[in-house]
Amino acid sequence: GTSTGSTADVADLLYEQFGDDIASEPIEIDTIQGSVAKTFEQYGALVVGTPTWNTGADSERSGTGWDEIYYGEMQDLNLVGKKVAVFGLGDQVSYAENYADASGELYDVFEGLGCQMIGHTSQDGYEHEASKAIKGDKFCGLLCDAVNQEELTEDRVVQWVAQLKEEGILDGSSSATPEVAAAPAPTAADEINVVKELEEQSRILDENIMTHSGLKNDSDSFTPHHNPVTGRTMWTSADGRTCYYTVDAPKVGTKLSP
Ligand SMILES: Cc1cc2nc3c(=O)[nH]c(=O)nc-3n(C[C@H](O)[C@H](O)[C@H](O)COP(=O)(O)O)c2cc1C
């Protein structure tokens, strides 16, 4: 967003400073109204900027297209966890009580959407009295002043881009969906416990079936199936889950897998 071009100038400087690392040329917010979600959601991180015009108003302070979308279209965005850095332009002498206030509003809107806000800077070297862009004891992002400190802008941009890189702005795309923590791989001890647990459950199930079918868990409740060819007899339990074979005495017990 820009009215007289100074915010656009800083956006261009940021674009140059990022060089090949940046995915898009600066985008004027007015040009993407109606497709803000599609535009913002495709990038792993965002650097967003605004001037401050609407002095004294409680909200919609930028005087740009941002004001049209903050509390409408933007409220439907899914940007949770996305890294967002804010920059702003203002006049710290003429508007010392409201220096770059709109940057604070831009910050609040993205923060309210669950974005990971990065790029806070020190207030040292500015002459403002008050600003809604102050969060804690820092500015919410990079603040520039094309009216009173034009000569400092380039250095500020260079330093800020280095800071954003340190804060991981290029570290892959943050997912809008928080990652689900992966379960640790099962250990051998876990697997043994699972087998024991299954065996125990199987034993309990056998007991229940015996109890409810009125059968006793002894050889009387097994049914013989004689194979005259092999001479072996297969004895199956009433529930069909357990069997053993007899050839001659003694009988050989074999438990079927559950
Ligand atoms: C009518 C008017 C109101 C302004 N209000 C503020 C203000 O409240 N706070 C501030 O820091 N700057 C204020 N400014 C200064 C502008 O934010 C500053 O000139 C900025 O660089 C303009 O950015 P742009 O060229 O990208 O539109 C105001 C300027 C004008 C002319």
> For 172-220, what is each residue's pLDDT tens digit?
654 444 334 444 455 676 667 777 777 777 677 766 655 555 555 455 6
Whole-angstrom distance, CA of residue 256 vs CA of residue 258: 6
Look at residues 37, 29, 145 and name the one whose alpha carbon lies nearest to residue 87. 145
Domain spans of the chain, in order of start: 6-166, 213-258
ipTM given for this complex? 0.99
Which residue's alpha carbon is nearest to atom 12 within ligand 1?
90
Class of domain 6-166: alpha beta
For the four alpha carbons of 167, 173, 177 and 179, in that order, the dihedral sign comes to negative
Closest residue to atom 16 of ligand 1, CA basis: 90
Residues 6+ apart with CB under 8 A from 213: 238, 239
Residues 6+ away with beta carbon under 8 Å from 32: 39
Q: How many angstroms is it from 70 CA to the middle of ligand 1?
A: 19
Res 174: pLDDT: 47
What is the per-residue pLDDT for 38?
93
Using most ligand atoms within 8 A of CB, pick from 54, 55, 61, 126 the residue to mutate for ligand 1: 55
The low-confidence residues of the chain, meaning pLDDT below 50, are: 174-184, 217, 250-252, 254
Give start and end residues of each alpha helix (H) in the chain. Answer: 6-18, 36-41, 66-69, 101-112, 153-166, 188-213
- Ligand 1: residues within 6 Å at CB? 2-7, 51-53, 55, 89-91, 95, 98-101, 146-147
Query: Tell me, what's the pLDDT at 258?
Result: 53
For residue 29, the SS3 value is helix
> Residue 116: which of 178, 180, 26 has the closest Cα?
178
